């Protein structure tokens, strides 16, 4: 039985979909004004893995990951760059698609953009005004009145009276309560705006997710995800908006993933301590990054360092080494102990580190069987590939992984040197053979002699 930790109840709960066999999943995606960093990669990879696993269980999943393409930072960045907002957002949406594709992430079923949902946003705001959850300020903004929503704070466990409003940001006197937030911002000069019943303006930060999620998945849906930092206020506000407008419960299960850290500090744009996905891809393959992300449980912090990525690379090398030379044709093993352990690990709130440990046990088993029982080794090897695939791993040719990112020498040169060395070995000229091997090693190529001949891989 699949159990998921629900931020709303602060405990693991058996997962029961609203409609049998179907799951609606919404994840807060990017605000597109810059390149994806490793923190973004984590959310994307984690929920990609969640979706793959849910589908492997037989659920029909509708996966929505939105794009926020209008907000203060976008407007500011476009202005700084001297480019149009549309140009900026399109550029970074394309970059994001390149990055996610590189990381082996499946496309969501829909990728709605905030600017395409202005009519739906206006409808929700109107309903909130009608239902008494919103008011218009003297500046012409429309604000949400948090005190009118009884359950405000239920997701983040906060009580209005405990929050230190005004501690770090000056209180806006035009609001009825300091924590009231803007639904609709009155237009300022030189800013994009849409017309509305309350005059020209643009949506506030939180409202677009209420509009897009309920439009794509219905007023009440199964799972909503995102980074921990969105729990408050973003997701809290989404609940207030959506439930205030529809009068129905909004989301059953809230999932929040932990941060990527660098030296025990959160990786974030505001701290400036981030690495972009494309930067890291220059040094490590996408699958190494993906593996690295999955080595810790999604709710735990993930410490980023070169040493950890290097370790991830070595670990993946081990798995691919096991798969090397195994035919992919044979039927994989199915309902054995490894499978059961894998499923029970993933059923336990998507415990990917545990699931990976089982892949290594399986890998060891395959290695042991390779010589004695090649057929069984092949079947287990294919099971390893299949289970890895549920986490988006082990889907490329072992040789492609092991020989990838070749820099110094061409494949032909390497093959040529191997042939020469083979000749030296057959005439027992060990000095010559070792010299060639050392020469290759200096270029980052490792040789491995087997009964079937010599193979090579990149260090």
Partner RNA sequence: GGCUGAGUGGCAGAGUGGCUAUGCAGCGGAUUGCAAAUUCGUUUCACGUCGGUUCAAAUCCGGCCUCAGCCUCCA
Tell me which residues in 252-281 interact with RNA (CB under 7 A).
257-261, 264-270
- In which residue are the tokens 């195994």 written? 326
Q: Under the criterion CB under 7 A, does residue 139 sit at the interface with RNA?
A: no
Which of the residues 311 through 340 are near RNA (CB under 7 A)?
Answer: 311, 314-315, 318, 321-322
Report residue 445 as tokens.
């190529």
Residue closer to RNA, measured from CB, 17 or 203: 203
Name the minimum Å distance from CB 313 to RNA.
Answer: 8
- 405 to 434: interface string for RNA, x by CB under 7 A: --------------------x----x--xx
Smallest gap, in angstroms, from Cβ of residue 270 to RNA?
4
SS3 label, residue 204: coil
Residue 88 in contact with residue 77, Cβ under 8 Å?
A: yes
> Which are the contacts of 103, defined by CB distance < 8 A and separation ≥ 6?
41, 44, 45, 48, 277, 286, 289, 290
**Own/partner pairs for 78-86, CB < 8 Å, 24+ apart?**
78/33, 79/190, 85/192
Min CB(299)–RNA separation in Å: 7
Q: Does 356 bind RNA (CB under 7 A)?
A: yes
Q: With respect to RNA, which residue has the nearer C-beta, 140 or 301?
A: 301
The residue among 17 and 68 lying less far from RNA, judged by its C-beta, is 68
Choose among 377, 395, 399, 400: nearest CA to 291: 395
Closer CB to RNA, residue 218 or residue 301? 301
Looking only at residues 99 through 138 of this chain, which bind RNA when binding is defined by CB under 7 A?
Answer: none
60, 159, 188, 416: which one binds RNA (CB under 7 A): 159
Q: Which of 28, 67, 96, 384 binds RNA (CB under 7 A)?
A: 28
Binder among 6, 49, 363, 382 for RNA (CB under 7 A): 363
Q: Which is nearer to RNA, 17 or 46 (CB)?
A: 46
User: Listing from the earlier edge strand, what are the strands of the sheet with 251-257?
Assistant: 60-65, 22-27, 221-227, 251-257
Shortest distance, position 72 Cβ to RNA, whole Å:
7
**Two tokens at 47?**
């929920």
Which of 17/257 has CB closer to RNA? 257
Q: How far is it, in rounded angstroms, from Cα 375 to Cα 313?
A: 28
Q: Taking the complex as a whole, how short is the minimal distance between the CB of residue 354 and RNA, in angstroms?
A: 4
Based on CB atoms, which residue is closest to RNA, 179 or 286? Answer: 179
Between 367 and 396, how does the x/- string for binding to RNA read (CB under 7 A)? xx----------------------------
Q: What's phi and psi for 450, nearest 5 deg?
A: -130, 175
User: To the nearest whole angstrom, how small is the minimum distance from the Cβ of residue 27 to RNA?
Assistant: 8
DSSP string for 414-455: HHHHHHHHHHHHHTT-HHHHHHHHHHHHHTTEEEEEETTEEE
Q: How far is CA 193 from the centre of its chain?
A: 31
CA 295 to chain centre: 13
Q: How far does CA 318 lie from the centroid of its chain?
A: 24
Residues 17, 24, 39, 398: which binds RNA (CB under 7 A)?
39
Which residues between 51 and 90 bind RNA (CB under 7 A)?
A: 71, 73
Please say which residue, 42 or 148, places its beta carbon nearer to RNA.
Answer: 42
Among positions 60, 139, 364, 416, the unique one binding RNA when judged by CB under 7 A: 364
- Residues that bind RNA (rule: CB under 7 A) add up to a total of 86
Phi and psi torsions of 267, nearest 5°: -80, 120
Q: Is residue 426 packed enough to be buried (19+ CB in 10 Å), middle (13-18) or exposed (0-12)? A: exposed
Nearest-10 crossing angle of helices 306-323, 374-390: 140
Nearest distance, CB of residue 369 and RNA, angstroms: 10
- Closest CB 247 distance from RNA, rounded Å: 25
The nearest distance, CB 260 to RNA, in angstroms, is: 4
Phi-psi region at 19: left, alpha or beta (left = phi > 0; alpha = psi -120 to 50): beta
Q: Which of residues 168-187 bind RNA (CB under 7 A)?
A: 168-169, 178-179, 181
Question: Which helix (H) or strand (E) is 203 found in, with range?
Answer: strand 201-203
Which of the residues 194 through 253 are near RNA (CB under 7 A)?
Answer: 205, 226-234
222: how many CB neighbours lie within 10 A of its CB? Answer: 24
Instruction: Give the one residue of 97, 360, 403, 443 binding RNA; rule: CB under 7 A.
Output: 360
Handedness of CA 84, 86, 87, 93 (dihedral sign): positive
Nearest approach in angstroms of CB 429 to RNA is 9
Is residue 167 part of the contact set for RNA (CB under 7 A)? yes
């Amino acid at each position: 039985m699949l159990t998921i930790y629900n931020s709303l109840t602060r405990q693991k709960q058996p997962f029961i979909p609203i409609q049998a066999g179907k799951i609606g999943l919404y994840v807060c995606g990017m605000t597109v004004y810059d390149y994806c960093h490793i923190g973004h990669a984590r959310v994307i990879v984690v929920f990609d893995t969640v979706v793959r696993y849910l589908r492997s269980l037989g659920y029909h999943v509708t996966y929505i990951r939105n794009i926020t393409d209008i907000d203060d930072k976008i407007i500011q960045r476009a202005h700084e760059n001297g480019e149009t907002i549309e140009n900026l957002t399109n550029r970074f949406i394309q970059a994001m698609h390149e990055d996610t594709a590189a990381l082996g992430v499946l496309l969501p079923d829909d990728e709605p953009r905030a600017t395409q949902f202005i009519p739906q946003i206006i409808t929700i705001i109107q309903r909130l005004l009608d239902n008494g959850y919103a008011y218009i300020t003297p500046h012409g903004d429309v604000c949400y009145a948090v005190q009118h929503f009884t359950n405000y704070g239920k997701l983040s466990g906060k009580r209005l009276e405990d929050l230190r409003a005004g501690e770090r940001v000056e209180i806006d006197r035009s609001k009825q309560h300091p924590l009231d937030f803007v639904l609709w911002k009155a237009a300022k000069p030189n800013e994009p705006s849409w017309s509305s019943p309350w005059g020209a303006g643009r949506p506030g930060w939180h409202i677009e997710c209420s509009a897009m999620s309920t439009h794509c998945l219905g007023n009440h849906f199964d799972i909503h995800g995102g980074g921990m930092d969105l729990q408050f206020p973003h997701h809290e506000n989404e609940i207030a908006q959506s439930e205030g407008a529809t009068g129905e419960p909004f989301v059953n299960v809230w999932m929040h993933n932990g941060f990527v850290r660098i030296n025990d500090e959160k990786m974030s744009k505001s701290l400036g301590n981030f690495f972009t996905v494309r930067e890291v891809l220059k040094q490590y393959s996408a699958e190494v990054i993906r593996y690295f992300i999955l080595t810790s449980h999604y709710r735990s912090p993930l410490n980023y360092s070169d040493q950890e990525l290097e370790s991830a690379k070595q670990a993946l090398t081990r798995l691919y080494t096991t798969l090397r030379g195994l035919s992919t044709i044979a039927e994989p093993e199915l309902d054995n102990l490894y499978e059961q352990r894998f499923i029970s690990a993933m059923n336990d709130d998507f415990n990917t580190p545990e699931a990976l440990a089982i892949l290594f046990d399986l890998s060891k088993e395959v290695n042991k069987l390779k010589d004695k029982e090649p057929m069984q080794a092949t079947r287990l090897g294919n099971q390893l590939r299949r289970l890895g695939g549920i986490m988006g791993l082990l889907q490329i040719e072992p040789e492609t992984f092991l020989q990838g990112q070749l820099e110094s020498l061409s494949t032909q040169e390497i093959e040529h040197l191997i042939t020469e060395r083979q000749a030296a070995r057959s005439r027992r000229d060990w000095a010559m053979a070792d010299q060639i091997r050392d020469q290759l090693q200096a270029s980052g190529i490792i040789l491995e002699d087997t009964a079937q001949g010599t193979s090579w891989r990149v260090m």
